C-alpha cells in the first residue's frame, strides 16, 4: 500500500473546528487507499503562549526545560487530531517524537535529526491505523533527553518520517497555496511556482522564504523525497519540490524551467561589524571560532580591503537577531586577545535574495538585478553570491520596495508572465 | 542526606506568580539540607480546559488519546516549576512520569502504579539537582503506552516516589491547612486534625474527603511512609498521617486519640436498584460480575429481604455517577439472562460517613449517630459499616444538614472541643 506522509502546521490547527477539518482531510487520504502518517505542529499560537508563560517565570529558562515545556504543544494537538479521526470511525494512534523514533543530537532548542527508528509507527500502519506524530520534537541519542528542532521543525519531522517509511510523497499543508515567486503580502503580483528544484528551494528557504523549513529541504534532497507544498484550505495543487526530471507535456515538449525561481527576503538578521581587526593571517579565524563556540549561525561575511597605512581591517557579518547579543557578548570577551578596536551592532537591516538555477547559464542576471535596485534608490551594504543566488543587505525600511522592484525587473509579476531574456555577459 | 518528597496540586500552581512562590518553597527544603523530589499536578484549571477541548473535538475520545492529551498538563507545570527553581540559582531536572520510572498497568484514565524504577531521579538527586516529576501519569508495563492515574493521582505519584526513594516524609501541599474533622465549607466549626492513622485516613478518603487521593493513603500505609498534609500558602504544621506510635507529651503522657476522627460526605455517587431479582443463589454474583466486567467501582450494596410470596428481591448499590450510565447499560444487556424486572437509577443521593478508630472500643457510637440524624429529620436510605466507619445514604439536599448535625453530636465542633463519652452498649 502506498505510504503518504502529511504535515499540518499550527495555522491549520487553530481550534476544534480546524482540527476536525484536518481530520477529514487526513481520512480522505486513507480512504483513497494509502497508509497515512501525519506530523502536526502545536495549535495556532499555543507555542507562543507557552513561551510567554516561560518568560513570566524566568528571564533565561534552561534550554532543557524549555524543550520539555514546548513539546507539550504538539502533544496536545496530536492527541486532539487523533480523537477527531477516531470520531470519524477510523482507528488511529498518536506518538510523541520520542515514541516515533525521532533521534536527534543534544542541542536543545535546535536539535538535528540523526536517525529515525519508526518501529512503533510502522507497526501501527501495518495494523491499518492512521498515525499522528508530534512534530518539532525528538529524543537525544546520548542522554535520552527530549529535544526540539527549532521553529518550523515539523516540516523536517515530516520529511524525515517520509524518508524512514519509504513514503511516495511528503505533503506539507500550510495556509498558502504553495511556494510563491515572492511573499504575496509584499508583492501582490507574486505567482505560485508549480515546480521547483531542491537546490532552488534550499536557497529560497535559506534566504528567508518561510514556507518550508530549510533543514526539511536538505533532508528531502538527501533522501530524494518529493515534497508537495499545498494549502490545507483548498484542494488545489500546490508546489512540487523535486529534482526528478521535468515531465514532458502532452505534446511531447519538455517544459522550459524559468531562469529565476523567486525573490526571497529576510528581516530576521542583524549585522555585526568588528572594527579595526589587525590584518594578519588567523585573525578572521579567531573571530569566527569565537562565534562558532557561542553557537552563532553566521550567514553573510564581508571583509573590506585593509587600508594600507593602518594595518587594520573591518569584518562584517550577519546572523539571526536572536543570536546577536550573544555574539556581541562573546566577541567582547576576546577583544583584547584578538586585538580589534570595537564592535558595531545593527539590527535595522534587510536581506534580499534572487534565486534561480537558470542564473548559471544566463549571463546578465546581476546587471539587471543591480540596475533594478539602483533605479529604486536602494543602497547596497553587503553582497554575497552562490552559483544560483545573489543576496544583498539593505536598510530594513527599503526592503519591501527593493523586493517589488526586483520581482518586476525579472518578469515575475503575474500580469506579464514571460521570463526575461538576457544578452549581456557575466553577472 | 535526608530525602523529602513534596507534592503541589493545581490550586498551588494556578499562574506564574504561584509557580514562583512554590519554587521558593521547594528551594527552602533544599537549603535546609534535604534532597528534594517534587511531584506536581497540572496548573489550575488546565486539565479541565484540555477536557473541554477534547469534548469539542469528539464526544467519546479514545482513552489512550485522552491520556496523551491530559499528560501535557503536568508536562507544562513541571517545566515551568523547574524554570522558576533554576531562576533562583539551583540546578534542577524535570521528568515525565515515564522518565521517572512510574510503571503502571494498562487501564487508561485510571491506571494503577505497579512499580517505580526511579533511576533517572536518583541519578539527578545524587548530582545535587532538585527533581520535579509530572504527577498523575505513568507508562504501562506491557505496552509502553502513556497512562494516567485518575483525578488526584499526583498524591499517589508523590507517595510512590517517596517509597521508591526511601524518603523520610511525603509532604502533600494543598490549598487547605490539613485534614479537617469535616469539610469547613459545610461545617464552619470543623477542626484541623493534627494526627490521624492510615486506617482512618483511608476510610475518610474512601468516604468522600478530597484532601488525599485514596490510593496514595493505601500506598503510604503499605510502605510506611508518613504523609504530611499542609497548606502551600502558610508555614503552619498540617496533618500527619501515620501509624507510628503516638508520641508522648513533654510531661510524659501519651496523647489520647479521639474516638471520632471526622465526618466525611460524598455527593459524587449514584444509586442503582435492580428490581425483582429471582431470589436464587448466584443471582447477585451475576449482577456484580456484570458490573466488574464493565469496570464499575461498586461502593455500598444493600439487598432487601425477599418478600416470601414473590420469590423476588431488590438489590441496590452505589457507584460513581460517572460510571452510572455505563452500569445501567451493562445491566440492561443481561436483564433477560439474569431474569430481573427493571432497573432504577437515582443520582440525587448523598453519602455521610462517620470515621474513627475509637469506635471499636466505644459502644454507643451508632446510637448517637442515628439519633442526631433523626433529630434533624434526615431519612436514611442505605446503611453500611466497617469496623471504624458508619456510612448512610440520604437525599442529596439534606446532606449538609446531616453532616453538621453529626459533627456537633460527636463534640467535633471547635467551640467545645471535648470528645463525647458514651455509656451505651453496642452500636
DSSP B324-336: HHHHHHHHHHTHH
Tell whether the model's pLDDT for residue B305 goes beyond 80: no
Tell whether the model's pLDDT for residue A297 goes beyond 60: yes
pLDDT band at B416; cut points 50, 70, 90: very low
d(CA A296, CA B410): 72
pLDDT at A240: 96
The answer, for B78 touching chain A at a CB cutoff of 8 Å, is yes
The answer, for B51 touching chain A at a CB cutoff of 8 Å, is no
A312-326 average pLDDT score: 92
List beta partners, residue A315. Answer: A274, A303
A413 DSSP 8-state letter: S
Cell numbers at A219, concatenated: 533532508
The answer, for A89 touching chain B at a CB cutoff of 8 Å, is no
- Which residue did the predictor score with more confidence, A165 or B300? A165
pLDDT band at B422; cut points 50, 70, 90: very low
Average pLDDT, chain A: 91
pLDDT at A423: 35
Chains A & B: contacts with CB separation below 8 Å: 108
pLDDT at B248: 62
d(CA A251, CA B193): 90
**Residues from chain A contacting residue B20 (CB–CB below 8 Å):** 57
Task: Tell me the Ramachandran region of residue A11: left when phi exceeds 0, alpha when psi lies from -120 to 50, beta otherwise.
Answer: alpha
Identify the closest residue of chain A to B52 by CA–CA distance: A16
pLDDT band at A419; cut points 50, 70, 90: very low
Chain A interface disruption, residue of B21, B23, B58, B129, most A CBs within 10 A = B58
Q: What is the model's pTM?
A: 0.83
pLDDT at B423: 35
List the single residue in B66, B80, B93 with the smallest CB-CB distance to A53. B80
CA distance A77 to chain B (A): 8
Tell whether the model's pLDDT for residue B12 goes beyond 50: yes
Reported as type and span, the H/E element at residue B347 is none
pLDDT band at A309; cut points 50, 70, 90: confident
pLDDT band at A359; cut points 50, 70, 90: confident
pLDDT band at B308; cut points 50, 70, 90: low
**Residues from chain A contacting residue B83 (CB–CB below 8 Å):** 54, 57-58, 61-62, 65-66, 69
CA distance A119 to chain B (A): 13
pLDDT at B424: 35
Residues B177, B236 contacting (CB under 8 angstroms): yes
Cell numbers at B58, concatenated: 469528539
d(CA A62, CA A168): 39
CA distance B268 to chain A (A): 27
A162-167 average pLDDT score: 96
A347-368 average pLDDT score: 89
- The count of other CB atoms within 10 Å of the CB of residue A312 is 17
pLDDT at B358: 84
CA distance B61 to chain A (A): 5
pLDDT at A273: 93
Residues B73, B50 contacting (CB under 8 angstroms): yes
pLDDT at B426: 37
**Residues from chain B contacting residue A59 (CB–CB below 8 Å):** 87
CA dihedral sign of residues B36, B41, B42, B43? negative
B250-275 average pLDDT score: 81
Helix (H, G, I), strand (E, B) or coil at B144: coil
B236-262 average pLDDT score: 76
Which residues, 6 or more positions from A210, have their beta carbon under 8 angstroms from its beta carbon? Answer: A152
The answer, for A191 touching chain B at a CB cutoff of 8 Å, is no
Structural domains in chain A plus CATH codes:
3-175 (3.40.1160.10)
**Residues from chain B contacting residue A16 (CB–CB below 8 Å):** 53, 56-57
Reported as a single tens digit per residue, the pLDDT across B360-409 is: 888 788 889 999 999 999 999 889 888 899 999 999 999 999 999 999 99
Contact B94 A19 (CB under 8 A): no
Residues A346, A271 contacting (CB under 8 angstroms): yes
B52-72 average pLDDT score: 96
Starting at the edge strand found earlier in the chain, the sheet holding A262-266 runs: A262-266, A349-355, A389-395, A382-386
List beta partners, residue A278. Answer: A312
CA distance B136 to chain A (A): 15
Chain A interface disruption, residue of B13, B20, B26, B68, most A CBs within 10 A = B68
Cell numbers at A210, concatenated: 518561510
Tell whether the model's pLDDT for residue B421 goes beyond 60: no
Tell whether the model's pLDDT for residue A1 goes beyond 80: yes
* Out of B157-161, B246-250, B412-416, least confident range: B246-250
pLDDT band at B425; cut points 50, 70, 90: very low
Starting at the edge strand found earlier in the chain, the sheet holding B92-95 runs: B92-95, B130-134, B35-40, B3-8, B169-174, B227-231, B239-241, B195-196
Angle between helices B119-126 and B153-165 (to 10 degrees): 60
pLDDT band at A416; cut points 50, 70, 90: very low
- Which residue did the predictor score with more confidence, A208 or A126? A126
B320-349 average pLDDT score: 94
* Out of A205-209, A239-243, B21-25, B116-120, least confident range: A205-209
pLDDT at B417: 43
Reported as a single tens digit per residue, the pLDDT across A40-57 is: 999 999 999 999 999 999
A168 DSSP 8-state letter: S
pLDDT at B159: 97
Which residue is listed with cell 527593493?
A402
Contact B62 A86 (CB under 8 A): yes
B194-206 average pLDDT score: 92
- Strand pairing report for B113-116 and B102-104: antiparallel
A320-334 average pLDDT score: 94
Contact B72 A75 (CB under 8 A): yes
The answer, for A24 touching chain B at a CB cutoff of 8 Å, is no
Reported as a single tens digit per residue, the pLDDT across B87-109 is: 999 999 999 999 999 999 999 99
Tell me the residue length of chain B. Answer: 427
**Residues from chain B contacting residue A56 (CB–CB below 8 Å):** 16
Average pLDDT, chain B: 91
**Residues from chain A contacting residue B56 (CB–CB below 8 Å):** 16
Quick one: CA torsion of A312, A318, A320, A323, rounded to 10 degrees?
-10
Amino acid at each position: 500500500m502506498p505510504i503518504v506522509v502529511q504535515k499540518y502546521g499550527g495555522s491549520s490547527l487553530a481550534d476544534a473546528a480546524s482540527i476536525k477539518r484536518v481530520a477529514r482531510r487526513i481520512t480522505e487520504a486513507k480512504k483513497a487507499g494509502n497508509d497515512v502518517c501525519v506530523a502536526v505542529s502545536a495549535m495556532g499560537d499555543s507555542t507562543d503562549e507557552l513561551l510567554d508563560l516561560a518568560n513570566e517565570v524566568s528571564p533565561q529558562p534552561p534550554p532543557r526545560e524549555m524543550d520539555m515545556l514546548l513539546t507539550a504543544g504538539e502533544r496536545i494537538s496530536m492527541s486532539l487530531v487523533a480523537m477527531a479521526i477516531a470520531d470519524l470511525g477510523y482507528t488511529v494512534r498518536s506518538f510523541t517524537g520520542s515514541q516515533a523514533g525521532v533521534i536527534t543530537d543534544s542541542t536543545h532548542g535546535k536539535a538535528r535529526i540523526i536517525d529515525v527508528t519508526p518501529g512503533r509507527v510502522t507497526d501501527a500502519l501495518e495494523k491499518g491505523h492512521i498515525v499522528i506524530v508530534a512534530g518539532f520534537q525528538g529524543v537525544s541519542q546520548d542522554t535520552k533527553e527530549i529535544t526540539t528542532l527549532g521553529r518550523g521543525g515539523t516540516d523536517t519531522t515530516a520529511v524525515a518520517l517520509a524518508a524512514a517509511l519509504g513514503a511516495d510523497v511528503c505533503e506539507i499543508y500550510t495556509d498558502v497555496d504553495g511556494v510563491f515567486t515572492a511573499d504575496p503580502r509584499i508583492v501582490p503580483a507574486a505567482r505560485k511556482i508549480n515546480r521547483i528544484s531542491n537546490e532552488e528551494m534550499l536557497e529560497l528557504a535559506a534566504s528567508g522564504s518561510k514556507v518550508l523549513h530549510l533543514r526539511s529541504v536538505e533532508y528531502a534532497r538527501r533522501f530524494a523525497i518529493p515534497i508537495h507544498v499545498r494549502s490545507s484550505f483548498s484542494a488545489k495543487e500546490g508546489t512540487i519540490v523535486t529534482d526528478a526530471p521535468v515531465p514532458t507535456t502532452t505534446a511531447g515538449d519538455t517544459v522550459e524551467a524559468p531562469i529565476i525561481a523567486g525573490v526571497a527576503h529576510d528581516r530576521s538578521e542583524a549585522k555585526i561589524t568588528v572594527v579595526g581587526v589587525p590584518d594578519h593571517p588567523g585573525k578572521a579565524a579567531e573571530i569566527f571560532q569565537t562565534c562558532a563556540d557561542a553557537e552563532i549561525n553566521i550567514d553573510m561575511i564581508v571583509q573590506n580591503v585593509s587600508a594600507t597605512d593602518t594595518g587594520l581591517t573591518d569584518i562584517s557579518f550577519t546572523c539571526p537577531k536572536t543570536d546577536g547579543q550573544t555574539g556581541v557578548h562573546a566577541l567582547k570577551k576576546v577583544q583584547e586577545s584578538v586585538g580589534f578596536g570595537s564592535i558595531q551592532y545593527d539590527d535595522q537591516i534587510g536581506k534580499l535574495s534572487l534565486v534561480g538555477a537558470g542564473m548559471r547559464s544566463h549571463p546578465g542576471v546581476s546587471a539587471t538585478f543591480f540596475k533594478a535596485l539602483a533605479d529604486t534608490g536602494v543602497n547596497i551594504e553587503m553582497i554575497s553570491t552562490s552559483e544560483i543566488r545573489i543576496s544583498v543587505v539593505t536598510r530594513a525600511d527599503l526592503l519591501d520596495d527593493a523586493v517589488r522592484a526586483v520581482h518586476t525587473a525579472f518578469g515575475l509579476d503575474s500580469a506579464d508572465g514571460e521570463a526575461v531574456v538576457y544578452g549581456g555577459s557575466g553577472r
